[in-house]
Amino acid sequence: MSRGSSLQLSRRTVLAGLAGAAVSGCGGTRSKEVVRFWAFGREGEATAELLEEFHARHPDTEVEIQRLPWISAHEKLLTAYAGETLPDVCQLGNTWVPEFAALDALEPIDEAVRTSGIVEQQDFFEGTFNANRIDSVLYGIPWYVDTRLLYYRTDLLKQAGFDHPPADWAEWSAMMGAIKSLVGPDRYSVLLPLNEFEPLLVLALQQPSELLRDEGRWGNFRSPDFHRTLSFYADIFERGWAPRMSNTQLSNVWDEFGNGLFSFYISGPWNIAEFNKRMPAELKDAWMTAPMPGPEGPGLSSAGGGALVVMKTARNKEGAWKLIEYLSEPQTQQRFYELTGNIPPRRTSWQLPALERSPYARAYYTQLDRLRSPPKVPEWERIVTEMRLASERVVYGRATVDGATVQLDATTDAILEKRRWMMSRGGGKA
Amino acid sequence: MKVARAGWWFVAPALMVLAVFFFIPVLAAFAMSLTDFDLYALADYDNLRFVGFHNYVTLLTQPLFWKALGNTFYFVILGVPLSLGASLGAALLVNSKLARFKNVYRTIYFAPVVTTMVAVAVVWRYIFHTRYGFLNYVLGWFGIDPIDWMGDPHWSMPAIVILAIWKNFGYNMIILLAALQSIPEDLYEAARIDGASGWQLFRHVTLPGLAPVLLLVSILTMTGYFQLFAEPYVMTEGGPLQSTLSVLYFMYEEGFKWWSLGRASAVAFLLFVLMFAITLLQLRLARRQVNA
């Protein structure tokens, strides 16, 4: 998923985007072949720094980079699609790939990968590639991975009597209970921001059931598996282990983690750098990352992140692919990691001292072998938002787990009505 | 005959501009609200279905739409009188003969109006913070327990109202200030000679003098407040529990987040009809009062 949902980050990226827009106005000489590239937020900023090397290698190609703020990226892309002003290459959140594939806006790139000497499919973590494949057609090359895992306070966990991170839900519950009785009524065990769907989605993906059934025609939230997930999630709030809070209320997640307002936090890789930078000096070594605990043993996490796609309407597809190949090289990905903290989707790229030696990144390396994609239907973003709202109602005691899941299925089925109509008509082009 | 035709030629430019920039878009939007225009239709017009008034029916049977409507009314009913009160109060204070540095105060009170909403939101999020917030700190002096402004569904809308009033009262204050200054001084003098008290002066000289401007300001404020969007967008994202979701926010999500433009157009029309009806009602009430 994109990170637009978190306000703290988007504020930063909005500023970055604005600054970027100001700079990118000045193009080079017009005699060169131009590749138009759109990237968002920090990624756009960092890519601009990576391009020097690309321009040195391909003096006849000029990359025009347009930086968009995350918060409005999705709208801008759709508007550009409607107005036929899409770029040649674009960064795309994994969850948006099905949508733009349904719009027939993306160029299939299986063939390009097959003949490429640089983009080696075997070298990528499998889950990251699969996230960009719709109905066995490949539309995007993974650029960086955004999966969620556990950040936790080692010192508080130790005080509560545990010297290792949780391995499964049962142990995690035991730890949350112990921490809660340790820290008292004003502090909590875990932060599950109510305005983020990611934590619940990760827990839901850990269960074997599909979230949508019959090739994404109907919701499947009434399944016993999702029922179990939502009950587990709601129980955490019910017992007072998690505060009923959204990110917008916290003002500063990192300070509160340092204050011990919560000891567990489910978040993405960019927070490694943030916590490194923002934790108070005396707590420098008091935190760690761990792979997600699952219902029974190590759990799956969501295959999110960013992909690079070539647009069907691209004027310079060759140049576009050259840029994707360059950005997929292990050396480039390593520099990209150094600049952004975004973790690379290629195994070879992980052979970087900074990555190999970082104890915080190690958990991600383990987690990358256990990824699962959310359902790949264009309506997913809306459905998952409805899922979040349903869970919020349960957490606030406005609905029971049974009532919420039945209603969620009804809403989902209504959202998917058009898709069912399309599939019955066009034989599955959606 | 000829004169009439000449008249049409004279208004033609204005009519054309109106047609191109108002009537045609409105008609197009209405036509769109009768279809299920969405992402799929954007890809291929074959995927567009004419659905009649289905969008309107779905909306009117959807609890979330009613919730958004209820939230919007709550915001308007609470916000407009308080906002007008704040504007009037500030205008009276600035206009008072005792006040010094009038221009300075006028500028200070007007500053929030021209400040960017996003920057304001950053500051107010701290003011509303449950633990470190200035507002709860002040309430603490009076022995009031901290309020979870942004997290409690009962308090989130009042918090948005407070923010909106602070953000907007300066604008109306400037208009009311101009109206206050245009009330002839001899009216006050005559009333004072007749022995009117301060309150009587306000009630029988100031208020009637302000009436037409107050009506204008209240209509403008109300239409503005019905279009509540930026405040929840930057402060709460419509939450918690959708307690700050307004009709416009709902429309924005339908249209630009989920790209169901058919449904979003239907929302826009419902909102238009509603605001039109309320403004008519307000005008009629005002006319009756003037006649009475």
Last residue of some domain: A316, A337, A367?
A367
Q: What is the pLDDT of residue A31?
A: 64
Q: Which residue among A78, A244, A418 places its CB closest to the CB of B151? A: A244
Distance CA(A412)–CA(A222), nearest Å, equals 11
- Average pLDDT over chain B reads 90
Check whether residue A261 and residue A336 sit in a common domain. Answer: no
For residue B125, the chain A residues in CB contact (below 8 A) are: 248-249, 251
* Chain A contacts in chain B segment 119-138 (CB below 8 A): 122, 125-126, 129-130, 132
Structure tokens at A215: 């090739």
- Beta bridge partner(s), residue A294: A168, A297
Of the residues A7, A99, A248, A416, the best mutation for testing chain B's interface (the one with the most B CB atoms within 10 Å of its CB) is: A248
Whether residues A102 and B39 touch (CB distance < 8 A) is answered with yes
For A113-143, how does the pLDDT look when each residue is reduced to its tens digit (9 = 90+)? 888 888 888 899 988 888 899 988 999 999 9
Measured in angstroms, the CA of A75 and the nearest CA of chain B are apart by 6
**Is there a domain that residue A246 lies in?**
yes
Q: What is the pLDDT of residue A293?
A: 95
- First-to-last C-alpha distance (Å) of chain A: 20
**Is there a domain that residue A421 lies in?**
no
**Is there a domain that residue B41 lies in?**
no
Q: Does B236 touch chain A (CB under 8 A)?
A: yes
Measured in angstroms, the CA of B238 and the nearest CA of chain A are apart by 10
**Is there a domain that residue B94 lies in?**
yes
Check whether residue A163 and residue A28 sit in a common domain. Answer: no
For residue B118, the chain A residues in CB contact (below 8 A) are: 11, 14
One-letter identity of residue B101:
F
Q: How far, rounded to the nearest angstrom, does the alpha carbon of residue B12 sit from its chain's CA centroid?
A: 33
Q: How far is CA A72 from CA A5, A21, A64, A88, in A?
A: 11, 13, 20, 19
DSSP state letter for B130 = T
Structure tokens at A381: 């973003």
Q: What is the pLDDT of residue A41?
A: 85
Total number of domains in chain B: 1
**Is there a domain that residue A255 lies in?**
yes
The answer to whether residue A249 scores a pLDDT higher than 50 is yes
Whether residues A102 and B258 touch (CB distance < 8 A) is answered with no
For residue A378, the chain B residues in CB contact (below 8 A) are: 39-40
Query: Got the DSSP string for A14-67?
Result: HHHHHHHHHHTT----TTSEEEEEEEEHHHHHHHHHHHHHHHHH-TTEEEEEEE
Q: Does B290 touch chain A (CB under 8 A)?
A: no
Residue A398 vs residue A24, higher pLDDT: A398
**Is there a domain that residue A399 lies in?**
no
For A304-316, how does the pLDDT look when each residue is reduced to its tens digit (9 = 90+)? 889 999 999 999 9
CATH number for the domain spanning A250: value is 3.40.190.10
Domain, as residue range, for A193? 149-302
**Is there a domain that residue B191 lies in?**
yes
Backbone CA torsion sign across B32, B33, B35, B40: positive
CB A215 within 8 A of CB A161: no
**Is there a domain that residue A388 lies in?**
no
Rg (alpha carbons) of chain B, rounded to whole number: 24
Structure tokens at A326: 């360059």
For residue B126, the chain A residues in CB contact (below 8 A) are: 251
Check whether residue A87 and residue A231 sit in a common domain. Answer: no
**Is there a domain that residue A383 lies in?**
no
Of the residues B32, B37, B47, B57, the best mutation for testing chain A's interface (the one with the most A CB atoms within 10 Å of its CB) is: B47
**Is there a domain that residue A259 lies in?**
yes
The chain B residue lying nearest A395, using CA atoms, is B241
| pTM exceeds 0.90 | no
Check whether residue A298 and residue A310 sit in a common domain. Answer: no
Whether residues A396 and B40 touch (CB distance < 8 A) is answered with no
Whether residues B151 and A382 touch (CB distance < 8 A) is answered with no
Q: What is the pLDDT of residue B292?
A: 53
Q: What is the pLDDT of residue A374?
A: 92
Among residues B259, B253, B61, which one has the least CA distance to residue B244? B253
Of the residues B51, B62, B241, B243, the best mutation for testing chain A's interface (the one with the most A CB atoms within 10 Å of its CB) is: B241
Burial A325-346, CB ≥16 within 10 A → b, else e: bbbbbbebbbbbbebbbbbbbb
Whether residues B42 and A81 touch (CB distance < 8 A) is answered with yes
Check whether residue A360 and residue A334 sit in a common domain. Answer: yes
Q: What is the pLDDT of residue B43?
A: 82
CATH number for the domain spanning B281: value is 1.10.3720.10
Of the residues A11, A18, A74, A249, the best mutation for testing chain B's interface (the one with the most B CB atoms within 10 Å of its CB) is: A249
Residue B160 vs residue B287, higher pLDDT: B160
Q: Which residue among A244, A382, A422 places its CB closest to the CB of B258? A: A382
**A33-40 and A61-68 as β-strands: parallel, antiparallel, unpaired?**
parallel
Last residue of some domain: A335, A367, A399?
A367
Whether residues B39 and A378 touch (CB distance < 8 A) is answered with yes
Query: Which contiguous run of DSSP H or E holds residue A70?
Result: helix A70-82
Distance CA(A177)–CA(A241), nearest Å, equals 7
Check whether residue A163 and residue A113 sit in a common domain. Answer: no
Check whether residue A132 and residue A11 sit in a common domain. Answer: yes
Measured in angstroms, the CA of B26 and the nearest CA of chain A are apart by 20
For A19-78, how does the pLDDT look when each residue is reduced to its tens digit (9 = 90+)? 444 444 444 445 678 999 999 988 888 898 899 999 999 998 999 999 988 877 888 898
Check whether residue A126 and residue A256 sit in a common domain. Answer: no
Check whether residue A331 and residue A253 sit in a common domain. Answer: no
Last residue of some domain: A314, A335, A367?
A367
Q: Does B264 touch chain A (CB under 8 A)?
A: no
Residue B55 vs residue A357, higher pLDDT: B55
Whether residues A251 and B118 touch (CB distance < 8 A) is answered with no
**A301-302 and A371-372 as β-strands: parallel, antiparallel, unpaired?**
parallel
Tell me the pLDDT band of A2, cut-offs 50, 70 and 90: very low
Tell me the pLDDT band of B239, cut-offs 50, 70 and 90: confident
Among residues A12, A257, A271, which one has the least CA distance to residue A149? A271
CB B277 within 8 A of CB B44: no
Burial B67-76, CB ≥16 within 10 A → b, else e: bbbebbebbb
Distance CA(B88)–CA(B217), nearest Å, equals 11
- If DSSP codes are grouped into helix, strand and coil, which group holds residue B292? coil
Domain, as residue range, for B176? 60-291
Q: Does B35 touch chain A (CB under 8 A)?
A: no
The predicted model gives B124-128 an average pLDDT of: 90
Structure tokens at A262: 């919560």
**Is there a domain that residue B139 lies in?**
yes
For B12-56, how does the pLDDT look when each residue is reduced to its tens digit (9 = 90+)? 999 999 999 989 998 999 999 999 998 888 888 888 999 999 999
Structure tokens at A119: 């983009």
- Least confident stretch, A93-97, A249-253, A297-301, A361-365: A249-253
Tokens 């969501």 identify what position?
Answer: A302
Percent above pLDDT 70 for chain A: 92
- Least confident stretch, A343-357, B55-69, B156-170: A343-357
The predicted model gives B184-189 an average pLDDT of: 91
CB A41 within 8 A of CB A13: yes
Q: At what angle do helices A317-328 and A41-57 cross, to 10 degrees?
A: 100
For residue A382, the chain B residues in CB contact (below 8 A) are: 257-258
Check whether residue A96 and residue A176 sit in a common domain. Answer: no
Measured in angstroms, the CA of B106 and the nearest CA of chain A are apart by 31
**Is there a domain that residue A32 lies in?**
yes
Measured in angstroms, the CA of B120 and the nearest CA of chain A are apart by 13
Q: Does B39 touch chain A (CB under 8 A)?
A: yes
Measured in angstroms, the CA of B152 and the nearest CA of chain A are apart by 9
Total number of domains in chain A: 2
* Chain A contacts in chain B segment 174-233 (CB below 8 A): none
Q: What is the pLDDT of residue A127?
A: 87
Burial A134-161, CB ≥16 within 10 A → b, else e: beeebbbbbbbbbbbbbbbbbebbeebe
Residue A150 vs residue A278, higher pLDDT: A150
**Is there a domain that residue B254 lies in?**
yes
Distance CA(A402)–CA(B154), nearest Å, equals 25
For A176-225, how does the pLDDT look when each residue is reduced to its tens digit (9 = 90+)? 999 999 999 889 999 999 989 999 999 999 999 999 999 999 999 999 99
Return phi, psi of residue A277, to 5°: -80, -40
Tell me the pLDDT band of A427, cut-offs 50, 70 and 90: low
